[in-house]
Chains A and B, each alone.
With several copies, the nearest count.
Chain A
Amino acid sequence: MNFGFTNTEWIFGTMILDKLNEIHGFQVVVNNLPNFGMGALLTLEITVFSIVIGMVLGLLAALGRMSKVKVINSIAVAYIDFFRGTPLFVQILLLYFGIIPLIFDATPVQAAIIACGLNSGAYVAEIVRAGIQAVDRGQMEAARSLGMTQGQAMINIIFPQAFKIVIPPLINEFIMLLKDTSLVSAISVPELTHTGKMLYASTYEAVWVWGAVCVFYFIMTKALSILGDWTERRLATE
């Protein structure tokens, strides 16, 4: 059962593996692979829920930001400015320990999703706004000159085109958010980074533990960015 390797390769491979197995940090990582896996899964879960919330909030905030109604505009601007102008890490602590308890009992995971969702909403808002503004002005003019109302033009002409423009930066935001979920480890959400923290606190194997955590994150972000490139190419050829 050499799995297609030559004998020398096989011997060499097993030798390296034997050597590795003698290293404590390597054992720690291998033994905890299931834990890392579960942490990564929760990381993904939080990311997906957050981006969904972020997209809804972001769309609303973008429209609010472009609205001519003063109050709506101010609210949207304040929301976007606050969440883009302060660190997510501090937002998480403020929301989890300060604000959310005043409103309702949230589990750490719920709080994490709320915090990350609110934060990414602010970034998505700017992406959406940029996307809408990137649609050639002539498109709106052509639609209006046919006799469409502002709303009809938005829905039929501007949004469908903005959608395409917005996809690549949205995927990028997705990737950013995935990395940012590492911060919710501070509120005891047992995601990937928290898994690393626990393991590190009991083994002190910094290079191995944090190295392994990096590898897990890298695989996830790489997969997303390949997906992003693929989508971008597909959109370009369409």
Chain B
Amino acid sequence: GGNEEETAITKLVVGSETAYAPFEMVDENTGDYIGFDMDIIKAIGDAMGVEVEIRSMEFTALIPALQNGQIDCAISAMSITEERAQSVDFSDSYFDAGLIIAVAADTKGIETLDDLKGKVLAAQIGTIGADACVAVQTEDPATEVKTYDHVGEAFMELEKGGADAVVNDLAVTAYYIKTEASDKAKMVGEVFQADDHYGMPVQKGDAATLALLNEGLAKIKADGTYDEIYTKWFE
């Protein structure tokens, strides 16, 4: 019912692909969902006085789940793209991202997107990193693109030597190299698609949830909570 919308929201069911550190992941000791995105959405919930329930799902399942009404919104390091905006509405951007190329520590000669031509690339299914890889492949069909359900599997492919490079979000790749692979992998070249921003998608036309998210985001940015969380995860 449209009338009760403003008063009705007491709980948000939030979808997230909880396998994308440091934005969302499982605490390896407790099994809880933790990460930048998790903290952000909880802070928004606290600020707006609504309960937040996280539902873990595959990245490719998020938008369909919104469309089906199985979740109210998603927070999953999802870049705001035109294509996606046709299926869902996005909140204000809450993170400025960009893509980066990661290669094995001893790799030489890969610096730019052009250098990726003819190489074996790994990425996560349905991400803009995968789109970038496919774009390279379209230019040079000799390029091979391997795609996985989770980015961690793409990183493993790089570690195993099954891929020459992984194209993925900067923050995630940086976190992975810092925590897991400082001796095995490195980032090369410049951040590209730097106009890439993360947003929280809601069902198309769901103005109430959208308003709630935007308001909450504004509040936590104003009161310094956002900066605290940012510092906690990225510095």
Give me the interface of A with B, judged by CB distance under 8 Å.
28, 31-32, 34-35, 97, 101, 105-108, 186-188, 190, 194-195, 197-204, 206
Which of B19, B55, B67 is in CB contact (< 8 Å) with A201?
B19
By the criterion CB–CB under 8 Å, are B180 and A204 in contact? yes
Chain B residues within 8 Å of A, Cβ to Cβ: 15, 18-21, 25-31, 55-58, 60-61, 63-64, 67-70, 83, 87, 122, 125-126, 130, 146-153, 155-157, 160-162, 180
Give chain A residues whose Cβ lies under 8 Å from the Cβ of B19.
197-198, 200-202
Q: Which of B126, B149, B180 contacts A186 (CB 8 A)?
A: B149
A133 shortest CB reach to chain B, Å? 42
CB proximity of A212 to chain B, nearest CB, Å: 13
Query: What's the nearest-Cβ distance from chain B to residue A39, in Å?
Result: 9
Q: Which residues of A contact B162 (CB under 8 A)?
A: 105, 107-108
Contacting pair A204 B56 (CB below 8 A) = no
**Which 9 residue pairs are nearest across A and B when measured between Cβ atoms?**
A201-B19, A188-B57, A201-B126, A35-B31, A101-B68, A202-B25, A198-B26, A188-B146, A201-B152
**Nearest-Cβ distance from residue B220 to partner chain A, whole angstroms:** 25
B55 neighbours in A (Cβ, 8 Å): 108, 188
- A97 and B26 contact, CB distance less than 8 A: no
Please tell me if the beta carbons of B153 and A97 are within 8 angstroms of each other in the complex.
yes
A211 to chain B, nearest CB (A): 15
Beyond A201-B19, A201-B20, A203-B28, list 5 extra A-B contacts (CB 8 Å).
A188-B146, A188-B153, A198-B19, A198-B25, A204-B180
A204–B157 CB distance below 8 A: no
Task: Tell me how many residue pairs across A and B have CB atoms closer than 8 Å.
Answer: 113
For the complex formed, measure the closest distance between the CB of B63 and the CB atoms of chain A, giving whole angstroms: 6
Residues of A within 8 A of B60 (CB): 197, 200-201
**A33 (CB) vs chain B CBs: closest residue:** B31
Q: Is the CB of B58 within 8 A of A186?
A: yes
Which residues on A sit within 8 Å (CB–CB) of B156? Answer: 97, 204, 206
- The docked-state distance in angstroms from the alpha carbon of A188 to that of B19 is 12
Report A-chain residues with C-beta under 8 Å of the C-beta of B153: 97, 186-188
User: A194's contact among B21, B30, B56, by CB below 8 Å, is which?
Assistant: B56
For the complex formed, measure the closest distance between the CB of A217 and the CB atoms of chain B, giving whole angstroms.
18
B58 and A202: CB pair below 8 A? no
CB neighbours (8 Å) of B63 from chain A are 204
Residues from chain B with a CB closer than 8 A to the CB of A203 are 28
Q: Are A108 and B18 in contact (CB under 8 A)?
A: no
CB-defined contacts of A186 to chain B, threshold 8 Å: 58, 61, 148-149, 153
- From B30, B56, B152, B161, A188 is in contact (CB under 8 Å) with B56
Task: Evaluate contact between A202 and B27: CB separation under 8 angstroms.
Answer: yes
Residues on B with beta carbons closer than 8 Å to the beta carbon of A198: 18-19, 25-26, 31, 56, 125, 147
Q: A199–B18 Cα gap in the complex (Å)? A: 9
Q: Are A204 and B87 in contact (CB under 8 A)?
A: yes
* In the bound complex, CA of A130 to CA of B149 (Å): 39
A107 to B160: give the CA distance in the assembly, Å.
10
Which residue of chain B lies nearest to A36 when distances are taken between CB atoms in the complex?
A: B31
B27 touches A97 (CB 8 A): no
Q: Are A105 and B26 in contact (CB under 8 A)?
A: no
Contact of B29 among A31, A105, A190 (CB under 8 A): A31
Which A residues lie within 8 Å of B161 (CB)?
105
B125: nearest chain-A partner, CB-CB: A201
Q: Can you list 6 A-B pairs with a CB-CB distance of less than 8 A?
A: A108-B57, A188-B58, A197-B19, A204-B64, A204-B87, A206-B156
A204 CB contacts on chain B under 8 angstroms: 63-64, 67, 87, 152, 155-156, 180
Query: Which residues in A have their C-beta under 8 angstroms from that of B57?
Result: 108, 187-188
